[in-house]
Structure formats: structure tokens, C-alpha cells
């Protein structure tokens, strides 16, 4: 059985090539073809001898996911991908276009065990963790499809990245290596629903990587209702871990807060959130909820525009830095999990 070349970090690949009698610089050549030139077969790597190409092709695969569907926004070019993996499972990735950069949102699991009620991915259930190579290959595949250079990466696609901790860390280290994507750690963010012990571990393992926490409610009563994992990890535990992360890394934590009409968008909710984050220097992204189709017994309505403005005004007055996130891809299935649910029955 062939080994997927994306599953190896640089040193592991050097070791694998040495077993075949191939020099270290051959690794550099292969990685340049894959990550820079976007050549995904050994036959096309013309600065390797035919013999070397044959040896590599016999032992390794370059497993780029198959494109099942792609939607491109006519408004802002936001691009949503649905990929098929080698075992037939499907995952999503998204490209976001900004004036000065292109950001990739990538998946870390097939489905998601967190089951947040406002997330289409959570409604589809959890299947399995992704391997490091399956995470990395999303980045390469998106760059090849859209002919772009991705400047920022956010682990904010399908799945809870801190529940696939080792593979996520390995994928970050692979993408960071100068011979692959050469991505600065400071341009990589991990978005989590909040796994306190893993947040603290991340601070020690990869202190330059940025952290975003999906909070969405200022107390346990309300968060229990929309984020089932809160019954295991309380708001207080998560905020404590975030403070410890900041202390160890000196990085500011971003909190994601989805606003749901007449549920968590009141003035009192804003005041309680400000109390919770007081003194942290945290940053809050305010996100009007994106309705999820075919989720029964849930009333997830977008807040009134004035309620969003009121929430922001309270945080401003309490010196909690925040912004109302500008929506992207509103004319496509941009919410995480929607494209997969509509294509896979």
C-alpha cells in the first residue's frame, strides 16, 4: 500500500527517502513540485531521473482530494469547496478574499462531535478525524483550483480541531516548514468550541499560533442550550483557560459570538459578556446567526439590526474591543456544513 506523501513532516520524509537511497535534496525537489508548482504526479517532476520517479511512484501517493462541488460568490468571490476523500467521506473548505490577503478555512474532522445547534456540520454527526495529510492537502488543492496564494489559514471548517489535537499540530508544522507552504505561525489560527486543557497545551506547544474561541453565550444556562459540549466544559473553565493562554503566549484571544434573535442578543447579555471578559484585552467577533436548513424544533432567527448595534454599543462602552463580522458568500451555501448536507444524503 502506498504512503501518502502529505502525511509526513519534512524530517520524516527525509528519513523515508533515505531508505530508498535518495538524497535530502530530492525531498526539496518533490516538495517544490507539489507546493509551489502544483504538480501532483511524479511523472511530471522532470528534474528527477526516470528511475527515481518510478521508485517514488511505487511507494508514495500524492493524495489531493477530489472536487465534488465548488460554489463561487458573485458578490465577493468567496469560494466554497466540497471534497471527496479517498475513503469516500466528504469535507468542506472555504476561501475568503480580502483586499490584502486570501484566507483559507479548513476542516479537521469529517463531521463534528460538538453538535452546536446553529451549525449544519454538527447536525450531520461525527464520522472520523482527518489525518494531517488530509488537512494539508485542502490548502494545496484550493490554491491549485483557484490559482491563489493563501496568506492566512484558520482551522474553522468542519470539526473541532482540539479534539484531533496531534494531527492538527502536525499539519500546522508541515504547513509552517520553509520547504512546503512556509506559512508563518502567526498567520495560522485555531478556532475551538473550548477544550480547556487543550487550549493550555496549545499555548505550550505552538505559542505563536492564534486562538479563537466560539463562546456564543455569556453564561452556562444559555450556552448549554446551543453548545452541548458546555455541559462538560463550563464558560468559567473556558475563560480561565483563555486567560492562561494569554498569559503564556502574550497573544490576544478572539471570542466568536453568534447573535440569535431574542436569545443572546439583549443588552443584559452584552453586559454579562463584558463582565466575563473584563480586563482580558480580548477581541469579540459579533456574528448574526446564519440560518441552518432542516434543523427541527429550533428557532434560530437573525437578530434585528438595531439589536446588533445595541450589543456592540454596550461592548464599546465597556472597552471590549469588537466588530460586527462582515458577511461573505451570502449568495452561496457559505455556512459550514451546508454544502455537504445538500450534496450527501
Residue 20, phi-psi category: left (phi > 0), alpha (psi -120 to 50), beta (remainder): alpha
Given a contact cutoff of 8 angstroms between Cβ atoms, the answer to whether 83 and 323 are in contact is no
Q: Residue range 231-252: average pLDDT?
A: 97
Given a contact cutoff of 8 angstroms between Cβ atoms, the answer to whether 107 and 159 are in contact is yes
**Residue 300: its pLDDT value, please?**
86
Residue 105 designated active-site? no
Task: Give 192's strand partners.
Answer: 213
Calculate the CA 194 to chain-centre distance.
14
Residue 207, pLDDT above cutoff 80: yes
The helix/strand/coil state of 177 is coil
- Residue scoring higher pLDDT (329 or 176): 176
For 60, which DSSP code?
E
Encode pLDDT of 114-127 as tens digits. Answer: 999 988 877 778 99
**Average pLDDT value over all residues in the chain:** 93
Given a contact cutoff of 8 angstroms between Cβ atoms, the answer to whether 60 and 5 are in contact is yes
Extract the C-alpha cell encoding 31: 516538495
21 phi and psi angles, rounded to 5 deg:
80, 20
What is the rounded CA–CA span in Å between residue 182 and residue 172?
10
298 pLDDT tier (thresholds 50, 70, 90) = low
Encode pLDDT of 61-78 as tens digits. Answer: 999 999 999 999 999 999
Given a contact cutoff of 8 angstroms between Cβ atoms, the answer to whether 274 and 312 are in contact is no
Q: Residue range 155-165: average pLDDT?
A: 97
pLDDT over 70 percentage in the chain = 94
**Residue 149: its pLDDT value, please?**
97
Choose the CATH number for 66-343 among 3.20.20.70, 3.40.50.2000, 3.30.950.10, 3.40.50.10800. 3.20.20.70
Tracing cell 484550493 back to the chain, one arrives at: 142
The helix/strand/coil state of 286 is strand
**Residue 106: its pLDDT value, please?**
98
Encode pLDDT of 24-70 as tens digits. Answer: 999 999 999 999 999 999 999 999 999 999 999 999 999 999 999 99
The per-type count for the chain, helices as H runs and strands as E runs, is 12, 14
Residue 186, pLDDT above cutoff 60: yes
Task: Give 126's strand partners.
Answer: 111
Which sign does the torsion angle of CA 207, 209, 212, 213 carry? negative
Calculate the CA 114 to chain-centre distance.
14
What is the rounded CA–CA span in Å between residue 285 and residue 239?
16
Residues in contact with 168: Cβ distance below 8 Å, sequence separation at least 6, in sequence order: 108, 132, 135, 155, 161, 162, 190
Residue 84, pLDDT above cutoff 80: yes
Q: Residue range 332-336: average pLDDT?
A: 61
When computed from its CA atoms, the radius of gyration of the chain, rounded to whole angstroms, is 21
Residue 336 designated active-site? yes
Given a contact cutoff of 8 angstroms between Cβ atoms, the answer to whether 43 and 57 are in contact is yes
- Find the catalytic residue in 92, 134, 160, 256: 92
Query: Quick one: CATH architecture of 3-61?
Result: Orthogonal Bundle (1.10)
- Find the catalytic residue in 105, 112, 116, 336: 336
Q: Residue range 245-261: average pLDDT?
A: 97
Residue 340, pLDDT above cutoff 80: no
Q: Where are the domains of the chain?
A: 3-61, 66-343
**Residue 46: its pLDDT value, please?**
97
**Residue 294: its pLDDT value, please?**
46
299 pLDDT tier (thresholds 50, 70, 90) = confident
4 phi and psi angles, rounded to 5 deg:
-75, 120
Instruction: Please give the model's pTM, rounded to 2 decimal places.
Output: 0.93
Residue 228 CB neighbour total at 10 angstroms: 16
Amino acid at each position: 500500500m502506498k504512503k501518502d506523501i502529505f502525511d509526513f513532516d519534512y524530517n520524516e520524509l527525509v528519513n523515508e527517502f533515505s531508505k530508498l537511497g535518495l538524497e535530502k535534496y530530492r525531498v526539496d525537489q518533490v516538495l517544490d513540485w507539489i507546493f509551489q508548482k502544483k504538480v501532483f504526479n511524479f511523472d511530471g517532476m522532470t528534474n528527477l531521473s526516470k528511475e527515481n520517479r518510478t521508485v517514488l511512484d511505487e511507494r508514495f501517493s500524492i493524495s489531493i482530494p477530489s472536487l465534488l462541488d465548488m460554489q463561487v460568490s458573485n458578490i465577493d468571490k468567496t469560494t466554497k469547496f466540497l471534497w471527496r476523500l479517498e475513503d469516500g467521506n466528504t469535507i468542506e473548505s472555504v476561501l475568503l478574499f480580502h483586499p490584502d490577503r486570501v484566507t483559507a478555512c479548513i476542516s479537521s474532522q469529517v463531521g463534528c462531535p460538538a453538535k452546536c445547534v446553529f451549525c449544519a456540520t454538527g447536525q450531520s454527526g461525527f464520522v472520523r478525524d482527518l489525518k494531517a495529510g488530509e488537512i494539508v492537502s485542502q490548502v494545496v488543492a484550493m490554491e491549485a483550483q483557484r490559482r491563489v496564494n493563501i496568506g492566512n489559514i484558520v482551522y474553522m471548517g468542519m470539526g473541532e480541531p482540539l479534539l484531533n489535537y496531534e494531527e492538527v499540530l502536525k499539519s500546522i508544522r508541515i504547513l509552517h516548514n520553509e520547504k512546503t507552504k512556509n506559512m508563518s505561525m502567526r498567520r495560522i489560527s485555531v478556532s475551538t468550541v473550548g477544550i480547556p486543557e487543550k487550549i493550555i497545551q496549545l499555548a505550550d506547544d505552538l505559542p505563536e499560533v492564534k486562538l479563537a474561541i466560539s463562546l456564543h453565550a455569556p453564561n452556562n444556562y444559555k450556552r448549554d442550550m446551543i453548545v452541548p459540549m458546555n455541559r462538560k466544559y463550563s464558560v468559567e473553565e473556558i475563560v480561565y483557560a483563555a486567560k492562561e493562554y494569554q498569559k503564556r503566549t502574550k497573544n490576544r484571544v478572539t471570542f466568536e459570538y453568534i447573535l440569535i434573535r431574542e436569545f443572546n442578543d439583549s443588552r443584559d447579555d452584552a453586559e454579562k459578556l463584558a463582565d466575563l471578559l473584563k480586563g482580558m484585552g480580548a477581541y469579540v467577533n459579533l456574528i448574526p446567526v446564519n440560518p441552518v436548513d432542516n434543523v427541527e424544533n429550533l428557532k434560530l432567527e437573525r437578530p434585528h439590526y438595531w439589536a446588533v448595534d445595541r450589543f456592540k454599543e454596550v461592548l464599546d462602552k465597556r472597552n471590549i474591543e469588537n466588530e460586527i463580522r462582515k458577511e461573505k458568500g451570502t449568495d452561496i451555501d457559505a455556512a459550514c456544513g451546508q454544502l455537504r448536507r445538500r450534496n450527501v444524503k
